[in-house]
């Protein structure tokens, strides 16, 4: 790819976000993605997978022949679907509001799915909280690096019986007024 498309332009689409959320920390075939996202038509799913592959947000980690067709196994790619601080700062207010609404909508859908379909013991893994932090830009960079160091061992399944949970963070600075 000659010039890299800003990651926000690639990932800030509801279907693409769903695909990325499904693949976070695991590998899935396109057939498994179709099963996990029944509300997305096959043609739409393939179109958005192709866009994510073109942008290196997804990568093909395995291919095998199944009944004369090639089945691809996908995982998050090099760009890892992270919208950085510079890109967030460069967004206009409308786009930033839209991105945040998509993010919250995904969280809300996951929460509803837990309440509607998960066994009661899954609620033991559910939690949410809010805590004020006091940071400058250097503190924030260090915090983010430290969090990645702490979280990295848990980004891939390590043993049988582990449950997948989603950890979301939101940083909202307080303003006077």
Mean pLDDT, the chain, as a whole number?
83
29 domain residue, yes or no = yes
**What pLDDT band is residue 136 in, cutting at 50, 70 and 90?**
very high
Residue 38 has pLDDT above 80, yes or no: yes
Identify the pLDDT of residue 4: 67
**What pLDDT band is residue 23 in, cutting at 50, 70 and 90?**
confident
164 domain residue, yes or no = no
DSSP conformational letter for 124: G
Distance CA 33, CA 46 (A): 10
pTM: 0.63
Mean pLDDT over 28-40 rounds to 92
75 domain residue, yes or no = yes
Identify the pLDDT of residue 146: 94
156 contacts 24 by C-beta, under 8 angstroms: no
Distance CA 50, CA 15 (A): 12
Distance CA 114, CA 126 (A): 9
159 domain residue, yes or no = no
- Residue 26 CB: number of other CB atoms within 10 A? 14
108 domain residue, yes or no = yes
What are 115-135's pLDDT values in tens digits? 887 777 777 888 888 889 999
What are 50-77's pLDDT values in tens digits? 999 998 889 999 999 888 888 999 988 7
Q: Compare 85 and 147 and report the one with higher pLDDT.
A: 147
177 domain residue, yes or no = no
Mean pLDDT over 79-105 rounds to 76
CATH of the domain at 106: 1.10.10.10
Count of structural domains within the chain: 1
């Amino acid at each position: 790819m000659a010039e890299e498309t800003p990651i926000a332009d690639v990932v800030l689409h509801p279907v693409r976000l769903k695909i990325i959320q499904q693949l976070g920390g695991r590998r899935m075939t396109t057939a498994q993605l179709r099963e996990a996202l029944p509300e997305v038509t096959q043609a739409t799913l393939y179109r958005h997978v192709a866009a994510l592959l073109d942008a290196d947000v997804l990568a093909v980690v395995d291919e095998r022949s199944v009944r004369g067709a090639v089945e691809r196994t996908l995982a998050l790619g090099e760009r890892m679907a992270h919208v950085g601080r510079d890109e967030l700062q460069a967004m206009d207010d409308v786009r930033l509001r839209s991105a945040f609404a998509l993010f919250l909508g995904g969280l809300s859908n996951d929460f509803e799915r837990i309440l509607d379909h998960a066994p009661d013991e899954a609620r033991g893994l559910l939690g949410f909280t809010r805590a004020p932090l006091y940071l400058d830009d250097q503190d924030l960079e260090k915090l983010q690096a430290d969090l990645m160091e702490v979280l990295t061992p848990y980004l891939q399944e390590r043993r049988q019986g582990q449950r997948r949970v989603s950890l979301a963070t939101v940083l909202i600075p307080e303003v006077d007024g």
